[in-house]
């Protein structure tokens, strides 16, 4: 065999090896995507909900919920009470908390405790009050729901120092400090009980999943919670405390300023129901440890972005930039119109 023939045969072998390797990698990726998609459908629509007996339901245990007077936090309180937990309601406005507490006690026949403080101040006495109020209570669940976004989309350089500080304080500092108070109480409650677990859920956001221009501080604060929550999950796993970040797209609430629900925008009741149904399952967050994207349409959106575009891709960044620029323009026009109407009165 000539040298030329040997070279040609070698090149053909290398080409064939490359093609077979590429084919194998392609098959693996397609199979993996198909399995993850099937898992989302299975967990969203087919599997029964998680049994909260795992967390001590109907055994006199308590759930602590921050931001509990409205929207998602209020719905967590109702649905956990229905599952058999007494409820500690933590929020700023005493009168609103009293209304929620009365409704829980009347409708679900569960005990409640109210802790009213303004989390935006990050005052030491807030955490002292929380710690003192929880003394002696068998707490097994913490829902970190308190948070704040920008009043309207705004560039980072135009974000006021006041708004920047409020977002970071509420979304990050308060969440971490509340967890430092409550987590040891959960650990003490479950002790060596192998059949009872603790649970810490922290509200994340699609703005933390993907970089979001014109919501930069909020986006960064929620991305911070992703790494912190997953780190905490690793630390507390051996202590039988389950920790998860809950990722959501828009929910019809006071915070989002959206009043009507739709296929991609659930109301608080729908969102919380999906979350509690799937605690411990990742649903749309297939690639992330200790993370759940529970609502079905949000799960499919998360999976699609992660699988085909990439959460840090230029395309996603540009889409978010254009969308929030448009929202800002509309918000400013509406504010100007309202101001003009006010002057005419």
User: How remote is the C-alpha of 333 from its chain's centroid?
Assistant: 31
Q: What is the pTM of this model?
A: 0.90
Phi, psi at 199, each rounded to 5°: -145, 130
Q: Angle, nearest 10°, between helix axes 124-133 and 174-190?
A: 20
**Tens-binned pLDDT, residue by residue, of the chain (345 aa):** 555 565 556 556 656 666 666 666 666 666 777 888 999 999 999 999 999 999 999 999 999 999 999 999 999 999 999 999 999 999 999 999 999 999 999 999 999 999 999 988 899 999 999 999 999 999 999 999 999 999 999 999 999 999 999 999 999 999 999 999 999 999 999 986 668 999 999 999 999 999 999 999 999 999 999 999 999 999 999 999 999 999 999 999 877 778 788 999 999 999 999 999 999 999 999 999 999 999 999 999 999 999 999 999 999 999 999 999 999 999 999 999 998 888 886
Other CB atoms within 10 A of residue 47 CB: 13
Closest CA to 184 of 236, 256, 249, 243: 236
Cα(65)–Cα(146) distance, rounded to whole angstroms? 9
* 36 annotated among ligand-binding-site residues: no
Q: Which fold has domain 47-328?
A: Rossmann fold (3.40.50)
Catalytic center residues: 218
């Amino acid at each position: 065999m000539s040298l030329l023939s040997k070279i040609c045969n070698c090149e053909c072998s290398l080409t064939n090896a490359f093609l077979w390797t590429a084919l194998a990698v392609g098959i693996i990726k397609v199979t993996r995507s198909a399995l993850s998609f099937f898992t989302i459908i299975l967990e969203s629509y087919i599997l029964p909900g998680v049994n909260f007996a795992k967390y001590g339901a109907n055994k006199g245990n308590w759930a602590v919920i921050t931001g509990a007077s409205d929207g998602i936090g209020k719905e967590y309180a109702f649905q956990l009470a229905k599952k058999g937990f007494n409820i500690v309601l933590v929020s700023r406005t005493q009168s609103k908390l009293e209304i929620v507490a009365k409704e829980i006690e009347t409708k679900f026949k569960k005990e409640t405790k109210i802790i009213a403080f303004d989390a935006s101040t990050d005052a030491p006495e807030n955490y002292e009050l929380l710690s003192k109020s929880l003394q002696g209570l068998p707490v097994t669940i913490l829902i970190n729901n308190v948070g704040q976004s920008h009043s309207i989309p705004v560039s980072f350089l135009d974000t006021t120092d006041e708004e920047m500080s409020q977002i970071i304080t509420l979304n990050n500092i308060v969440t971490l400090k509340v967890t430092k108070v409550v987590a040891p109480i959960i650990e003490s409650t479950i002790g060596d009980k192998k059949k009872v677990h603790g649970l810490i859920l922290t509200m994340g956001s699609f703005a933390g999943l993907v970089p979001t221009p014109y919501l930069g501080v909020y986006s960064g604060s929620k991305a911070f919670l992703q790494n912190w929550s997953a780190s905490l999950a690793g630390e507390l796993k051996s202590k039988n405390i389950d920790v998860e970040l809950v990722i959501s797209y828009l929910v019809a609430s006071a915070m989002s300023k959206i009043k009507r629900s739709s296929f991609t925008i659930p109301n608080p009741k729908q969102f919380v129901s999906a979350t509690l149904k799937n605690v411990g399952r990742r649903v749309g967050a297939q690639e992330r440890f200790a993370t759940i994207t529970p609502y079905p349409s949000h799960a499919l959106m998360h999976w699609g972005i992660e699988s085909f575009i990439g959460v840090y891709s230029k395309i996603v960044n540009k889409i978010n930039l254009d969308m929030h620029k448009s929202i800002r323009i509309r918000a400013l026009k509406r504010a100007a119109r309202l101001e003009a109407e006010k002057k005419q009165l």
